[in-house]
Amino acid sequence: MIRRRAILAFALFLAGMTSAARGAGVNLTLKAGMFFPSDAVFWDVYKNVTFFGGELAVPLAGGLHIWAGAEYHGDRGLLPVTLEESKLRLVPLYAGLRYHFGRSSVRPYLGAAAAFFLLKEENPIGTASESGLGFLGQGGLLVKLGGRIGLDVFVNYRACTLKTDDADPIKAKIGGISAGLGLVFQF
């Protein structure tokens, strides 16, 4: 219930940002890519995880933008010892600031955001459903293709450690590097 409320609040926040900045050069990006986990245990089970998502960037002043987004990571892997199937769903929701350099048709950018991670993992051993706060940093290039459409080539790093509330808590490091492409629509 709390997760649903958090997702609803985040969606309303994004909608409010869009309507408040209408006509101010809002960028909507639809993106996809690969996530490469930094934790050895996570890597052993899932290797490379595909993801898709969306972002909004609303200009504040100069090259500074308010930046928010959400991603969906879903994959299946094999547990290392038993070789039983494990299913992963990871949803990072993030909001922060991003700075775009220059005004040419190819613009580099850097961004930093606070992130809320929702994780659900199901396998024969059991089901884990946790959430926690983390950090996301992103760099990339925005390439104008023509008119109000562009391409976003990006790399980001995220850091978050989730811990279960059990008597014998288990820590899950769900950080790592991701890279991908996005289709940018400017309004």
Q: Which helix (H) or strand (E) holds 148?
A: none
**pLDDT tens per residue, range 72-83:** 998 898 888 888
pLDDT for residue 59 is more than 70: yes
In tens, the pLDDT along 101-116 reads 988 899 999 999 999 9
- The pLDDT value recorded for residue 46 is 85
106 Cβ contact list (under 8 Å, min separation 6): 141, 142, 143, 144
Across 75-102, average pLDDT? 92
* CATH label of the domain that carries residue 107: 2.40.160.20
Which range among 18-27, 28-37, 86-95, 152-161 shows the weakest confidence by mean pLDDT? Answer: 18-27
Query: Which position has the token pair 């038993």?
Result: 82
Domain limits for position 169: 2-18+26-186
Rounded percentage of the chain residues whose pLDDT exceeds 70 = 87
Question: Which residues, at least 6 apart from 168, have a Cβ–Cβ distance to it below 8 Å?
Answer: none
Q: How many domains does the chain have?
A: 1
Is the pTM above the cut of 0.85?
no
The percentage of the chain sitting over the pLDDT mark of 90, rounded to a whole number, equals 57
In 38-170, DSSP assigns E strands to 49-61, 64-78, 85-100, 106-123, 126-146, 149-159, 161-163
**pLDDT-based confidence at residue 6 (cuts at 50, 70, 90):** low
Residue 176, sorted as left (phi over 0), alpha (psi -120 to 50) or beta, turns out to be left
Q: Helix, strand, or coil here: 12?
A: helix
* Mean pLDDT across the chain: 87
Is 157's pLDDT higher than 90?
A: yes
Q: How confident is the model at residue 26 (pLDDT cuts 50, 70, 90)?
A: very high
Is residue 38 within 8 A of residue 47, CB to CB? The reply is no
* Average pLDDT, integer, range 43-66: 92
